[in-house]
Structure 1
Amino acid sequence: MKYYAVASTSELDETGQLHIELNGEEILLCRDGNDYFAISYYCSHESFTLEGGSITNRCITCPYHGAEFSLETGEALAPPAWQDLRTYPTAIEKNIISIGFAD
């Protein structure tokens, strides 16, 4: 697994979310408190974006239909989505967020 520097922590200060693209994958970086997560950008229910969804207790809620996903595991926790999402490991060093991506 290779880690790629993708953003500074300050880029998530205002909304707690940042859309990025890495190796052809669209990813949503999320902050919950002092923790940072990377999850697939699109909801598995109808492929709407998760960006703008509320984040609480290490979960994100789709802003369109209310599906809920674990930011840690990608597990679908509430309908209408039942398919889990891909998550990516994150690392923070000197306020730079890196995402682990299998080559």
Structure 2
Amino acid sequence: MAYRALEKIINLYDGYCRPFQVDGRPLLLIQDGNRPYLLLNRCPHMDARMDNASLDAGNIRCPVHGIQFNLESGVAVGPLASCLKQLQKLPLVYEGGTVGVDL
């Protein structure tokens, strides 16, 4: 595994949302409620990119279909929850004032 820095921790803020491409994988680093999350940059519903998604009280809303997902659990919110796959989250790694990923 190799560490890849994505962002300086000091640059993160609530509402931060930035896409990255690491080893051919589309990733999305976001922060909501003073907590950063690293997601695969795709909606589990139909693979829509999530980098234009809106964040609201611990949820992320797909900009294409409007489906909300809980950031903590990855589970869809609402009547479709049992029909949809979860968001794919990746563990964040902190190193030397940066946040990144081991892939």
Please give the TM-score of this superposition, normalised by the length of structure 2: 0.76
CA RMSD across the alignment: 2.5
Larger Rg: 2
State how many pairs are aligned. Answer: 100
- Is the CA contact 2:45–2:84 (under 8 Å) kept in the aligned structure 1? yes
2:101 alignment partner in structure 1: 99
Please give the TM-score of this superposition, normalised by the length of structure 1: 0.76
Structure 1: gaps of 5 or more residues: none
How big is each residue's C-alpha offset from its partner over 1:3-37, in whole Å with a ceiling of 9 and x where there is no partner?
Answer: 42122232x55951010011221011001132110
| SS of residue paired to 2:74 | coil
User: Post-superposition shift, 1:94?
Assistant: 4.7
| SS of residue paired to 2:30 | strand
Structure 2 CA distance, aligned partners of 1:77 and 1:15?
A: 20
| SS of residue paired to 1:36 | strand
- Is the CA contact 1:54–1:60 (under 8 Å) kept in the aligned structure 2? yes
- Is the CA contact 1:39–1:71 (under 8 Å) kept in the aligned structure 2? no
1:44 alignment partner in structure 2: 44
Q: Which amino acid aligns with 1:61?
A: R
Q: Which amino acid aligns with 2:86?
A: D
User: Post-superposition shift, 1:58?
Assistant: 2.6
**Could you tell me the percent identity over the aligned residues?**
26
- Is the CA contact 1:18–1:29 (under 8 Å) kept in the aligned structure 2? yes
